[in-house]
Amino acid sequence: MSWRNAIVTSSRMTFGQRIRTCWNPDISYLCAVSIL
């Protein structure tokens, strides 16, 4: 997944989903992107 897709994905996630994403090592980069 590219960083651009990651931004689109994170923008569609709720705050709760972002928090759970942070705890998943495989997709933790989505957490970092969603914070930006």
pLDDT tens-digit profile of 15-34? 777 677 667 777 777 667 76
Q: How many residues in total does the chain contain?
A: 36
Look up the pTM and report it: 0.32
Please indicate whether residue 36 or residue 21 has the higher confidence score (pLDDT).
21
- What DSSP state is assigned to residue 13? S
pLDDT band at 36 (very low <50, low <70, confident <90, very high): low
Three-state secondary-structure class, residue 11: helix
pLDDT of residue 1: 55
- Please state the rounded mean pLDDT for residues 12-17: 75
